[in-house]
Structure formats: C-alpha cells, structure tokens
Amino acid sequence: MSQVVLKKLVINNFGPIIKDCIEFVPFTYFIGRNNSGKSHYLKAIEILLASRSPSKSEIIALQHDRNQAIRLEGYFEGSQDFTSLISTSNHKQAVDEAIVDGIIKVVCILDPNNEEVNQFGITKPDGTIHNPSGFKGNLLKVLPESISITATADTIDELKNTQNTALSKIKREVLATFFEELKVKTKESLAKLDEYLHSVESGSRCPELVNFEKRFKEELMGEFEDVQPSVEFSLPDEEVIAKEMKIFLDDGYKSEIEQKGNGLQRAALLAMLKLLAKYGVRYKDRPSPIFLIGELESFLHPFAQKQFADVLQSLASLYQIVTTTHSPFIIKPKAIEGYRRITKTQLEGTHAVMPKLSSVDEGLVERHLENRGNLEGLFADKVVIVEGKHDENCYEKFRELFKIPFPDKKFLVFVKTDGKEQLRIARKFYGGMGFESVSILADLDYLFSRDIKHLYSELGINDSLSDDYRKHIEWVEDKDPSLEKVLELIGGKGFPKDHDKNLETLETKSVFVLKHGGPENYYKNNKGEKDGWAKLKSESDIEEPKYLKTLMEKVLS
C-alpha cells in the first residue's frame, strides 16, 4: 500500500473556523456537539484536494468573514514516491524542490471578490505561490484523492454525476485487482481490432476503410488534391469500460445502487468498506485515497456501530481515515491519539483540541476506556470523577431528590473509576483530552491516602498536608487506611487543624471531598449500604440534606 498522508492542516476563515491548525494521524476522528463545526474540517480537506474549484456562491457560503479570503494549507508526507507521475518536466522539478524532509506544503486560496487571488499550488522560498497553467492537475497526481461519505447525502444529487460519488470511487477501490487484470485483458482483446482498423503495413486493415480514404482523396479537387485523408479510431481503455460498470441490487426491484434509498445505499457503503478492510489491495502506481466520513453511524444500530468502528480501525492500515462521530464505539485505547475534541465560542470560533497524554500511564488509560460506561464522558462538556459505580448512582440520586438541574446547555457526566487510587489519573486523563471542566468528588479517606500527595503537587498546593492528615490519626502503615478506619479514628481524635480551610482550598481547584465519609454514610435508614441509594425516596431519607445539597450545587455548577 502506497500512501500520501495528510499530516497537518491550517485553516483560515472557513465556516465557523476563524483560524485553526490540526494534526492528523492515520485514523483521526472529530467529536463535538451538533453545529459545532466538525464537518467543516472534512469539507476543508475535500476542497483542498478537489480537482474542481468551488463556485463564487459556494466560496461566499463558506467564508467566515466576507471581507477576507479563505486560506487552506495542507502538509502531506510521502509525495516524493509519486513525482514520476508528473508529465511536465518543469512542474515535476517544482514539486521535487518543494518537498522538504518528506513533506510538501500545498496552499489553496479562495476569494469570491477577486478571482486573481484564487490559487492552488506550492509556496516558493519567497512566500509566493507557484501556480502556473496546468500545474494543479499535475500537483494533484502526488496527493491523495478524497472519498467523501456523508450520512445525509442526497440520492438525487449523487445521481447527477454517478462517476464521482463515494459509491463509484469505493467500487473502484474494492475491485482494484480486477481493474489491473482488466487493463491487461483490454489491451489483449483490442489488439486485433486495432490492427483491423489501423494496420496498413501488415495488410490487415479493413479494405472498406482503405477504399473510403482512396475515394475520398479522389473527390478532393483543385488546391486540395494533395491532401491525404485518413480514418482513425480512439479505442476504449479499461477506464472507459470501468465507467460503464454497474452494480445492481435486487430487493424486489432490481436497480443500481445509486437508485436505491438512502438507508440501503449506506448499508451498501458499509458492506464495501468491510470488503476493503478485509481484502483491500490498492494500485501501487498512485497514492491511496483519504476517506472523509461524516457521521455514518447515524443510520446504524449500536451493534452495527461497533462493527463499523472495527472496520474503520482496520481500514486505517490501508487508507487514511478522517471522520466525525457521535458514537462512543469509535473511541478505543489504540485509537485515542486520533481523538480531536471540537469546541466553539462566539469570540474564537471553532477549534479542534488534540489529546496530550504523554504523562498518563497507558495501562490506566486503557483500563479506563475499556469501562464502556466511561466513554460517554468523552462526549461531555463537563465530567465529575467519582470512585465507583455505586457513587455514580448515588450522586445522580442526590441530584434528583434535591431537584438540582444540570448546568444550562452543558452535557455533564459522572465518570466512575476503580477506586480512589485512580481519581488523580482520571483527572489528568480528561485534562489531557482537552477538557477545561474536570471535577473530583471523593470520599473522606482520600485526604489520608498517599496518592493525594501527588494531586496536591499537581494543583500547586503544599503536599505536606497529606503527611499531616496521616500523622493526625497516627497512621504509620504503608497501605492507606480504609474509610471505615478513618471514620473510627476521626471519631476519637476529631478533624485535623484547618480541615475546613483545606476543603475550601481544594474546592477552588474543583476537588470536592465529603466531610463525613462516603455517600453511603449519608443514608439515614440504611447507613453504610453501598447500594442503599436505590431505597432513597425523598430528602427526609438523607442525613445532613442541607450540606449535601450545597455541595452538589457546587459540584454541578
């Protein structure tokens, strides 16, 4: 498989994107709310690699600021393997010279108000754009073709040009080996026909054609009597034959794929993508395409979404994949580097945030992501990290009984870990994933753990507080005291000095600690039962409801 890979894209003045720079890996996926601008990243790649420039009205519709041009810059790796495809020598030389350390920078400028500014080319050392006549077609030969698959594609629109749809392009990909054989068979089959039509020397040419040319010449008179007419034919090659290839589906009514309904079209697309993932073989004489897939899971059952995620993961070894998604099944430990979180503000527009997880233990990240319920958190605006599944259910019950609403226009999720030892790591993980709002809601014994010493350091708080708490209850063992032991010892010794002040300091850092144990210690009639939250019916079933309600309001604000 020969690939030219998009490594980086710089976007200026494009839709909701005022200015952004995004790095890409073989499998990159954008997640974010509807109308946050995810699809514009795919559209920018599509326009950058398109052979046809958008119309004036299309450019206007894509501008963020109508007074400024759209500028797209793509950085591609691997083009040096395909410069032999460029037919014009000076164009090839320009491309060869533009490839630095294996990377070529391609620039597209679109301005509906000044067509002279519109350009597609490579930058010269002086910063100007090299874009002579005919250069675009040659430059595109060393770049990947884009195959765009959208969840809401209009069948009628696709039928306007059935040779340039995602379906038609994927058909060529799936049948790549066949087309290589077809190329050979076509030449073999047409050799005799070519001889019949054109071979004068061998005497095999059609006599009727020879006679026609002779008679035609005889009829040319006067000053044109020396003109020699000839009849020549352009024989079809495998590409011409391929254009006439059709795949029919019979669902009670036999017709082409392109004439079927949207749902069946997408099912056919998925089936062909599965074939590509299993048997894909790409021509080695040109770059493999880049797939731009927009929320295809919209038409799929959750089980099929999971299958689709596996297909995309497999395809990424053969083709570069860029997709937008709302499906948690896309997110897997081995695909986490491709996560791009979309944020949008009125002042700064749309931005893509990529993960920075170099300081987080890979094993812990993998265990966290394998907990299927936690994946929902990666689509949230705000996460609150709790110690376990009972805590998650309990705090949701408290919120319900206290009638505390979720933040307005914010998607908030309680994310569970496997105990207090992972609270800090989970916080670091979500911070690395680009979350600005990450909170911890911990049991009292977390203040007496060894791990909180590291959390204090990360928060810029004096980490000696951890030792002070352990000394206060005279705890000298290496292992952490259990919650029950902490409550027992606190019952006799009271809280350490400045305990309330310390809790307030932690709250300013979005770390909240229950004063009197874990959530199960606030059940009035079934204290200590981990699943006692299920029996809570009203505020009267809760100890210290006023304190808990205030705490929950702080956590959820």
CATH for 288: 3.40.50.300
Give the pLDDT score at 321. 94
Strand, helix or coil at 54?
coil
Instruction: Please say which residue of 293, 311, 342 terminates a domain.
Output: 342
Is the pLDDT at 160 greater than 60? The verdict is no
Q: What percent of the chain has pLDDT over 70?
A: 94
Q: What is the mean pLDDT of the chain?
A: 86
- For residues 112 and 252, membership in a common domain is answered with yes
- For residues 265 and 337, membership in a common domain is answered with yes
Q: Report the candidate in 319, 330, 315 with the shortest Cα–Cα distance to residue 290.
A: 319
Total length of the chain: 557
CB 420 within 8 A of CB 387: yes
Give the pLDDT score at 169. 78
What contacts 364, CB < 8 A, 6 or more positions away?
422, 425, 429
Give the pLDDT score at 534. 86
Give the distance from CA 419 to its chain's centroid: 31
Which residues make beta-bridge pairs with 6? 76
Give the pLDDT score at 284. 66
Give the pLDDT score at 93. 92
Strand, helix or coil at 511?
strand
In a domain, 354, yes or no: no
Backbone angle region of 221, left / alpha / beta, with phi > 0 → left and psi within -120 to 50 → alpha: beta
Q: Report the candidate in 451, 448, 481 with the shortest Cα–Cα distance to residue 467.
A: 448
- For residues 418 and 290, membership in a common domain is answered with no
Domain count of the chain? 3
Q: Report the candidate in 134, 119, 121 with the shortest Cα–Cα distance to residue 95.
A: 121
Give the pLDDT score at 283. 53
End-to-end Cα separation, the chain, in angstroms: 51
In a domain, 34, yes or no: yes
- For residues 191 and 145, membership in a common domain is answered with no
pLDDT in tens, 107-142: 999 998 887 788 899 988 788 888 888 899 999 999
- For residues 55 and 198, membership in a common domain is answered with no
In a domain, 350, yes or no: no
Give the pLDDT score at 14. 95
Say how far apart CA 166 and CA 173 lie, in whole Å.
Answer: 10
In a domain, 208, yes or no: yes
Say how far apart CA 184 and CA 147 lie, in whole Å.
Answer: 26
- For residues 465 and 538, membership in a common domain is answered with yes
Domain that holds residue 412: 359-556
- For residues 156 and 303, membership in a common domain is answered with yes
Average pLDDT, integer, range 227-240? 86
Q: Are strands 248-250 and 254-256 parallel, antiparallel or unpaired?
A: antiparallel
Is the pLDDT at 149 greater than 80? The verdict is yes
Which residues make beta-bridge pairs with 75? 8, 105
pTM: 0.82
In a domain, 542, yes or no: yes
Say how far apart CA 98 and CA 470 lie, in whole Å.
Answer: 63
Weakest mean pLDDT among 178-182, 277-281, 302-306, 371-375: 371-375
In a domain, 141, yes or no: yes
- Confidence band of 493 (pLDDT split at 50, 70, 90): confident
Is the pLDDT at 367 greater than 90? The verdict is no
Q: Angle at the Cα of 61 (from 55 to 45), degrees rounded to 5?
A: 75
Is the pLDDT at 547 greater than 80? The verdict is yes
Sign of CA dihedral 137, 139, 145, 148: negative
In a domain, 351, yes or no: no
CB 509 within 8 A of CB 456: no
Give the pLDDT score at 322. 95
- DSSP track, 351-379: EEE----TTS-HHHHHHHHHSGGGGGGGG
Is the pLDDT at 150 greater than 90? The verdict is no
- For residues 327 and 453, membership in a common domain is answered with no
User: Among all chains, which residue has been given the structure tokens 């040779």?
Assistant: 163
- Confidence band of 371 (pLDDT split at 50, 70, 90): low
What contacts 497, CB < 8 A, 6 or more positions away?
none
- For residues 204 and 142, membership in a common domain is answered with no
Instruction: Please say which residue of 223, 240, 257 terminates a domain.
Output: 240
Average pLDDT, integer, range 349-359? 84
Is the pLDDT at 152 greater than 90? The verdict is no
Is the pLDDT at 436 greater than 50? The verdict is yes
- For residues 154 and 211, membership in a common domain is answered with no
Give the pLDDT score at 318. 85
Q: Are strands 412-416 and 382-386 parallel, antiparallel or unpaired?
A: parallel
Is the pLDDT at 157 greater than 50? The verdict is no
- For residues 307 and 225, membership in a common domain is answered with no
Average pLDDT, integer, range 516-542? 86
Give the distance from CA 98 to its chain's centroid: 28
Give the pLDDT score at 292. 92
pLDDT in tens, 21-74: 999 999 999 998 888 889 999 999 999 999 888 889 999 999 999 999 999 999
Query: Phi and psi at residue 258, in whole multiples of 5°?
Result: -65, -15
Residue type, 373: G
- For residues 439 and 485, membership in a common domain is answered with yes
- Confidence band of 508 (pLDDT split at 50, 70, 90): very high
- Confidence band of 156 (pLDDT split at 50, 70, 90): very low
Instruction: Please say which residue of 222, 240, 258 terminates a domain.
Output: 240
Q: Angle at the Cα of 79 (from 101 to 106), degrees rounded to 5?
A: 80
**Residue 207: burial class (beta carbons within 10 Å; 0-12, 13-18, 19+):** exposed
Q: Report the candidate in 287, 197, 288 with the shortest Cα–Cα distance to residue 236.
A: 197
Is the pLDDT at 427 greater than 50? The verdict is yes
Q: Name the more confident of 162 and 343.
A: 343
Choose from 13-27, 457-471, 486-500 the range with maximum mean pLDDT: 13-27
Give the distance from CA 543 to its chain's centroid: 46
Q: Where do runs of H (alpha helix) occur along 63-175?
A: 89-98, 135-140, 155-159, 166-174
In a domain, 226, yes or no: yes
Q: Report the candidate in 45, 73, 471, 76 with the shortest Cα–Cα distance to residue 292.
A: 45
- Confidence band of 3 (pLDDT split at 50, 70, 90): confident
- Confidence band of 439 (pLDDT split at 50, 70, 90): very high
Say how far apart CA 55 and CA 110 lie, in whole Å.
Answer: 10
Say how far apart CA 40 and CA 16 lie, in whole Å.
Answer: 8
Residue 556: C-alpha distances to residues 44, 344, 441, 537 (Å)? 37, 21, 11, 21
Say how far apart CA 381 and CA 198 lie, in whole Å.
Answer: 71
Give the pLDDT score at 164. 53
Give the pLDDT score at 162. 44
Count each helix (H run) and each strand (E run) in the chain, helices first.
Answer: 19, 18
Residue 124: C-alpha distances to residues 15, 77, 80, 108, 130 (Å)? 28, 18, 17, 14, 6
Q: What percent of the chain has pLDDT over 90?
A: 34
Choose from 111-120, 125-134, 283-292, 397-406 the range with maximum mean pLDDT: 397-406
- Confidence band of 281 (pLDDT split at 50, 70, 90): low
Strand, helix or coil at 8?
strand
Say how far apart CA 386 and CA 392 lie, in whole Å.
Answer: 6
